[in-house]
Amino acid sequence: MHKLLVVFLTLPFLWSAVDAQQHSISDAEALQAGHYIDSVTSSGSTAALIHFIDLDSLLGLVRQHLPDLNPELMRGFRKGFLETGGALGGQLASTAAMGSYRLLKEYDKDGTKHLLFRQFGKAGLNYHDYTLIKVQDSIKASDVFAFTLGENLSTMLATLSARMAGVDIAKLSETDRSLLKLTELKNQKEYAAAKQVYDQLDRRVQESKAVQVIYIEICRHLGDSLYDQALEHFAVAFPDAPNAYLVMIDLYYAEKDYEKSLAVVNKLDSLVGKDAFLDLYRGNFYKKMGKKDEALNCYQRLYLSDPTLAINTRTLIITYAQANRYDDAKKVIGEYKQTSGFQETDLDKIYSAFPALK
C-alpha cells in the first residue's frame, strides 16, 4: 500500500469490518447500535467503534467514484485498515481523554438511517455522522462524515486514490512526496519542520481543504499568532463547510470576540439539531464576558442534561465556589464521586484552589 494513503488513513474514525448487505433498518435497531457505541466508549473501550465501519461497503463507495481503480490499490487499502486498527483505537482513546463520545441522535436522510455522535477531548470538538447499513444481523456504517474534515470518508479516500492510482511509490511526484513528508512530520510532532514543507508546496495544493486542516493543526503548536492566521484563512476560504464553524469558534475565542463566538456556537447547534454540550462553550464565553449568572445557568443546564460530563461538572463546582456557594459545590462533588470512573485525584486542583470544599 502506498505510504501516503496509509498516513492519511491513520485518522480517529477508520475501522476494519465484514461483508455487507443492504436491508432495512428500524429506528429501534439504529438507536440500539448507537447506544451500544455510546456506552462502550464511555467506559473507555474503543474496540466496538474501531469495528463499526464496514470496510467492504466503504471501499465499494470508493469504487463508485473510481470504477476503474486498480484492484491492487484496493487490496492495499484493506491491508492498511486491518494493520492500523489498534493504533486508531489508541488515537481515539487519546482524543477522548477527559472528554466523551456521545450519541446525539438517530435520523433519516434520503431513505437511509444515520447516527450523529459528538466527540470531545484533548483535540477539541468534533461531530461524526455515520451512514448505516445492515451486515447480516449487525448494524454497521458504510461511511462517515467528519465535521473537522468537512467531507465523507469515502470522498476523501477516492480523492487520494485518484492521485495515487497506478503510481509506484518510487515514482511519486514531488508534490505527493512532500504531502507524505508533511503528514509524517506532523504525526511525529515535528511541527516547525512540517511548516517548512508546507511553505514549499504549490499554492493550489496549499489551498486544498485537506491540506488546510493539516496546516491548522501544525500552526496550533507553533504559536497563537500563526494559529489565528491559519484559522481566519480557513474560515474565509471555506465559509460553508461544517468544519468552518468549529474553526470560527476557536478563531473568535482567540480574538476575544465572545459575541461572535456565541453566534457561531448557536449556528453549530442549529446545524447538528441541538446539542446540550454546547452550553459548556456558551458558559465559558459568558464567563469571559463577565456575565457570571449567564455562565452559571449554562453549566447548570448542561449538568441537568448530562451529569456524567466530567469537564462540565468540575467547571460547575468551580463556578459555585467562586460565587461562594459552597453548599451547592459540595452537593455536586458528592454526586460527582458516585459517577463511573471517578478518582480522588480528579478533585486535587479544585481542593487546592478552594480548601473549604474538602
Residue 252 belongs to some domain of the structure: no
User: What's the number of domains the chain is made of?
Assistant: 2
Domain that holds residue 319: 279-358
Predicted pLDDT of residue 83:
53
Q: How far apart are CA 213 and CA 230, in angstroms?
A: 9
Grid cell locating 144: 462517515
Domain identity same for 40 and 160: yes
Domain identity same for 151 and 290: no
Output the tens digit of pLDDT for each of the chain's 358 residues.
333 333 333 333 333 333 344 468 999 999 999 999 888 776 666 667 767 888 888 878 877 766 666 666 666 666 655 554 433 444 455 555 556 788 999 999 988 999 999 988 777 788 989 999 998 888 998 888 888 877 787 777 776 666 555 445 555 567 777 777 887 788 788 999 999 999 998 898 888 887 888 898 899 888 878 888 888 888 888 877 788 888 888 888 888 899 999 999 998 999 899 999 999 999 999 999 999 999 999 999 999 999 988 999 999 999 999 999 999 999 999 999 998 878 889 999 999 999 999 8
Residues 200, 178: contact at Cβ < 8 Å?
yes
Residue 302 belongs to some domain of the structure: yes
Grid cell locating 19: 461483508
Phi–psi pair at 226, nearest 5 degrees = -65, -40
Residues 176, 193: contact at Cβ < 8 Å?
no
Domain identity same for 291 and 158: no
Q: Is the dihedral of CA 51, 56, 59, 65 positive or negative?
A: negative
Chosen domain end from 168, 192, 216: 168
Predicted pLDDT of residue 285:
95
Domain identity same for 297 and 152: no
| Number of alpha helices (DSSP H) and beta strands (DSSP E) in the chain | 18, 5
Q: How far apart are CA 357 and CA 350, in angstroms?
A: 8
Domain identity same for 160 and 284: no
Residue 234 belongs to some domain of the structure: no
What is the arrangement of strands in the sheet containing 138-146, beginning at the earlier edge strand?
100-109, 112-121, 124-135, 138-146, 151-152
Domain identity same for 163 and 298: no
Chosen domain end from 168, 193, 214: 168
Residues 238, 268: contact at Cβ < 8 Å?
no
Residue 261 belongs to some domain of the structure: no
Q: How far apart are CA 204 and CA 160, in angstroms?
A: 16
Residue 185 belongs to some domain of the structure: no
Residue 189 belongs to some domain of the structure: no
Residue 74 belongs to some domain of the structure: yes
User: Under 8 Å CB-to-CB from 301, ≥6 apart: which residues?
Assistant: 276, 279
Residue 352 belongs to some domain of the structure: yes
Residues 154, 143: contact at Cβ < 8 Å?
yes
Residues 321, 313: contact at Cβ < 8 Å?
no
**Which CATH number characterizes residue 41's domain?**
3.10.450
Chosen domain end from 136, 168, 200: 168
**Which CATH number characterizes residue 351's domain?**
1.25.40.10
